Amino acid sequence: MSDAPSDDHFDLIIIGGGPAGYGAALYGSAAGLDVAVVEKDKVGGTCLHRGCIPAKELLETAHVFRTVGHAAQFGVEASAPTLAFGQTMARKQQVVDQLFNGLSGLLKHRKVTVFSGTGTLAPDRSVRVSSSDGQASTLTGDAVVLASGSVPRTIPGFEVDGRVVLTSDEVFELDHLPRKVAVIGGGAIGCEFASMMSDLGSEVTVLEALPQILPGVDKDVVNVVRRSFKGRGIDVRVGAKVQGHTPGSTGTTIAIEGQDPLNVDAVVVSIGRRPLSESLGLDGTGVAVDERGFVQVDELCRTSVPGVWAVGDLIATPGLAHVGYAEAILVVKQLLGEQAVPVDYANVAWCIYCQPEVAFAGFSEQGAIDAGYEVVTTKHRWGGNSRALIIGDTEGVVKVIAEKQADGTGGRLLGVHMAGPWVTEQLGAGYLAVNWHAAVDEIAHFVQPHPSLTESFGEAVLSLTGRSLNS
């Protein structure tokens, strides 16, 4: 490998071009900083190429498929839908490519320099870039942001082969939809894939080790998802401990402790993600890494080395693209000498795009009680919402949790938890209310448009004042 140290100097060097990394690049360059991004693959990262975007695109295909399948109830006669999986995947790729081109163009327009190669941290805020053709160079910076992201966790005994055993990375490369699928892990990724594949025609079993799927989500919301999955034939097995699998001529047989073996064509392993810190060359740099591989930071995303920050999935904060954006902004504000407010991780927006969708911000009912609050809650079902009836999607609940006042009405809003139609698009009002530390009577003052899905949130909050309109 040749070593040609360059005199390239930047205000900010970012290792990793995913949402946290390109977020820092875009926000920093918008403030006039001279920014370099080192990326070994493609800017956009997991979110754009192997995560959020392709997953939601395929879930939209599932939505279209369901809608067409139910068209007859509207008097719209469509023959039973069939799936052209090649076109499904081609459209997914078109959306990804279009966003990739847009992001690349935006970075160029903002004069962000993108270096193609693997970045490792070197002394004195410098970064060594090793490209795939064997070339190496060194960049120096006033600040370095580590944003190398995460990769899927795997289970011993389930070696990923891209054919029978898949992670989210491989699902987006499938050339056909497996007929029978086991999804190991019933978290956000597992529930999204289970929902999507079932709606498109696969026979799906979810194997979750814990006593409930979607751990950490409010119980009333989880119950909605479980009921819906059951109704659509998704076999959800909780407390399921997988012990390994034996491949056959086509698929494989999974051994599950205390249960009959399960024959499937494909296994999707979605048991979480692990930080990708090992390729950053951190040994001996003074940057502290915990035993799980997360780079250790304080509440301002500062690592143990001055001038070196870490953001996104690489640190032990919620693994969400928009959390990466928030951390990127937090870091750049500090570089600019501006006031920087730590991210309020307890109140970030969570959106899970399975059918029915799940969205929430703030305390669940149990979480608020555990934190010592006396709470009052209300649950509104979509059956009473005119727009939900009109679109024919009344599955789910809007649950609002507030601090209980002496007269029994709601005080400060603590949490908004939803399952149902388009709730990922509806969470905005609840997210703002919770994060603004708004009180029930303040939010109840604002009237939602009629007829709209957002009325259910309005009604729920109104009812916590002790009076209501339609409920």
351 forms part of the interface with ligand NAI (CB under 6 A): yes
187 forms part of the interface with ligand NAI (CB under 6 A): yes
- Neighbour count for residue 379 (Cβ, 10 Å): 15
- Cβ proximity to ligand NAI, 83 vs 210, nearer residue: 210
- Cβ proximity to ligand NAI, 117 vs 186, nearer residue: 186
What is the 3 state secondary structure string of 393-444?
CCCCEEEEEEEECCCCCEEEEEEEEEEECCHHHHHHHHHHHHHCCCEHHHHH
Longest C-alpha distance within the chain, in Å?
75
Side-by-side strand order, sheet with 375-381: 350-352, 357-362, 410-420, 397-404, 375-381
- Cβ proximity to ligand NAI, 211 vs 337, nearer residue: 211
Distance CA 305, CA 102 (A): 34
Angle at 125 between CA 123 and CA 126, to 5 degrees: 75
User: Is 450 tagged catalytic?
Assistant: yes
| Spatial contact of 331 and 33, defined as CB atoms under 8 Å apart | no
Among positions 392-431, residues that touch ligand NAI (CB under 6 A) are: none
Q: How far is the CB of 28 from ligand NAI (least distance, A)?
A: 25
Could you say which of 19, 23, 45, 319 contacts ligand NAI (CB under 6 A)?
Answer: 319
- Cβ proximity to ligand NAI, 64 vs 210, nearer residue: 210
Q: Candidates 284-292, 313-321, 438-446, 452-460: pick the segment binding ligand NAI (CB under 6 A).
A: 313-321
183 forms part of the interface with ligand NAI (CB under 6 A): no
Q: Which ranges constitute the DSSP H helices of 280-320? A: none
Distance CA 407, CA 264 (A): 56
Q: Which ranges constitute the DSSP H helices of 74-160? A: 85-109
461 forms part of the interface with ligand NAI (CB under 6 A): no
Q: How far is the CB of 264 from ligand NAI (least distance, A)?
A: 14
Binding mask of the shown chain, residues 104 to 123, with x at each position contacting ligand NAI by CB under 6 A:
--------------------
Could you say which of 14, 103, 189, 308 contacts ligand NAI (CB under 6 A)?
Answer: 189
Amino acid (one-letter) located at 126: S
Local structure of residue 228 (DSSP, 8 states): H
Q: How far is the CB of 55 from ligand NAI (least distance, A)?
A: 7
Active-site position among 9, 176, 445, 450:
450
181 forms part of the interface with ligand NAI (CB under 6 A): no
- Neighbour count for residue 56 (Cβ, 10 Å): 17
Which residue, judged by CB position, is nearest to ligand NAI in the bound state? 187
- Neighbour count for residue 190 (Cβ, 10 Å): 26
- Cβ proximity to ligand NAI, 139 vs 352, nearer residue: 352
- Cβ proximity to ligand NAI, 271 vs 423, nearer residue: 271
Could you say which of 19, 119, 149, 190 contacts ligand NAI (CB under 6 A)?
Answer: 190
- Cβ proximity to ligand NAI, 10 vs 193, nearer residue: 193
Cβ partners under 8 Å of residue 327, min gap 6: 20, 23, 301, 311, 312, 315, 317, 343
Distance CA 399, CA 419 (A): 9
155 forms part of the interface with ligand NAI (CB under 6 A): yes
Q: How far is the CB of 275 from ligand NAI (least distance, A)?
A: 11
Strands 252-256 and 118-122, sheet pairing = unpaired
- Cβ proximity to ligand NAI, 28 vs 312, nearer residue: 312
Residue 108's nearest CA partner among 9, 8, 17, 7 is 17
Binding mask of the shown chain, residues 242 to 281, with x at each position contacting ligand NAI by CB under 6 A:
x---------------------------xxxx--------
Could you say which of 185, 251, 356, 421 contacts ligand NAI (CB under 6 A)?
Answer: 185
210 forms part of the interface with ligand NAI (CB under 6 A): yes
Residue 27's nearest CA partner among 343, 325, 344 is 325
Amino acid (one-letter) located at 86: G
Could you say which of 229, 353, 360, 382 contacts ligand NAI (CB under 6 A)?
Answer: 353
- Cβ proximity to ligand NAI, 26 vs 348, nearer residue: 348
Q: How far is the CB of 209 from ligand NAI (least distance, A)?
A: 4
| Spatial contact of 270 and 252, defined as CB atoms under 8 Å apart | no
Residue 313's nearest CA partner among 286, 343, 293, 287 is 293
314 forms part of the interface with ligand NAI (CB under 6 A): no
Q: Which residue has the tokens 């407390």?
A: 239
10 forms part of the interface with ligand NAI (CB under 6 A): no
Q: Candidates 9-17, 184-192, 291-299, 395-403: pick the segment binding ligand NAI (CB under 6 A).
A: 184-192
Residues designated as active site:
450
User: Which parts of this chain interact with ligand NAI (CB under 6 A)?
Assistant: 155, 184-190, 192, 207-210, 215, 242, 270-273, 318-320, 350-353
